[in-house]
Amino acid sequence: RMKVSTTPRGSLIVFEGCDRSGKTTQCAKLVESLQAQGEEVKLMKFPDRTTTIGTLINNYLQMSQELDDRVVHLLFSANRWEAIESMKKTLKAGTTLIVDRYAFSGIAYSAAKGLDLEWCRSPDIGLIKPDKVIYLSVNEQIMSERVNYGNERYEKIDFQKCVHNIFLQLQEPYWQNVSADGSIDVIHKEINTIVSETIRDSKVKPLLKLWTDG
């Protein structure tokens, strides 16, 4: 028997980009404006530092713990997998998820350390496929001017440039590059248009698996 779903599903909208690309600000503004438009929407972020696995990741990022690169890679992936059932439930109930970082960060940050890109992809194969990835792209000039990143492990200019270049290799048909160089409000408007369209278009589409289904 065909399973008939009565509720149109929510969309999975993923934000990716280097550190300090404005993702967190844009995610918050997007959630606010979608809510004002009457959409059911929920904000998530990876890594989720509140879980047991997330605590290990947090200690590693804050330099209070050393871990093998491969171990860290698998922990970040496990931190996404532990959220998958609840994400599926939320989407099927008709709520759109706005997600600050996902599997693409997983590949970009680990491959930037020299790990094999396809090895890095493997553990995230089969996660929920995003309906849209919004890549906030900071140009090299502006990136170079940001001398003060933060104190966390990856927040160094040369590493960030490398991460950016790997992100660009990961683009898929459902990616949208958005220049992060303009004003917060201009960027927000552009994102709002993209996401409103995506929410409309994905309502009746099935949920697919990342790097598994078409």
Among 81, 149, 154, 174, binds ligand DGP (CB under 6 A): 154
Binning the chain into helix, strand and coil, the percentages to the nearest 5 are 45, 15, 40
What residues pair up with 132 in beta bridges, in sequence order?
Answer: 13
**47 touches, from ligand DGP, Na ion, none (C-beta below 5 to 8 Å by class):** ligand DGP
Told to check if 76 binds ligand DGP by CB under 6 A, we report yes
- Between residue 11 and residue 30, which ones bind ligand DGP under the rule CB under 6 A? 19
Q: Which of 101, 96, 181 is nearest to 133 (CA)?
A: 101
Give me the least distance between CB of 38 and ligand DGP, in Å please: 29
Among 105, 137, 198, 202, binds ligand DGP (CB under 6 A): 105
Query: How far is Cα of residue 45 from the mean position of the Cα atoms in its chain?
Result: 8
Told to check if 178 binds ligand DGP by CB under 6 A, we report no
Told to check if 128 binds ligand DGP by CB under 6 A, we report no
Told to check if 95 binds Na ion by CB under 5 A, we report no
Q: What's the one-letter identity of residue 157?
A: I
Among 16, 17, 19, 112, binds Na ion (CB under 5 A): 19
Q: Supply angle C-alpha 90, 92, 94, rounded to 5.
A: 75
* Segment interacting with ligand DGP (CB under 6 A) among 33-41, 88-96, 102-110, 164-172: 102-110
Residue 106 CB contacts under 8 Å (≥ 6 apart), including other chains? 73, 76, 77, 80, 120, 123, 124
Among 24, 51, 122, 171, binds Na ion (CB under 5 A): 24
What is residue 47's three-state secondary structure? coil
Q: Could you tell me where the DSSP H helices lie in the chain?
A: 23-36, 52-61, 69-81, 84-92, 103-111, 117-121, 140-145, 157-169, 184-202
Question: Which residues sit at the interface with Na ion, rule CB under 5 A?
Answer: 19, 24
Question: Which residues sit at the interface with ligand DGP, rule CB under 6 A?
Answer: 19, 46-47, 61, 72-73, 76, 101, 105-106, 109-110, 152, 154
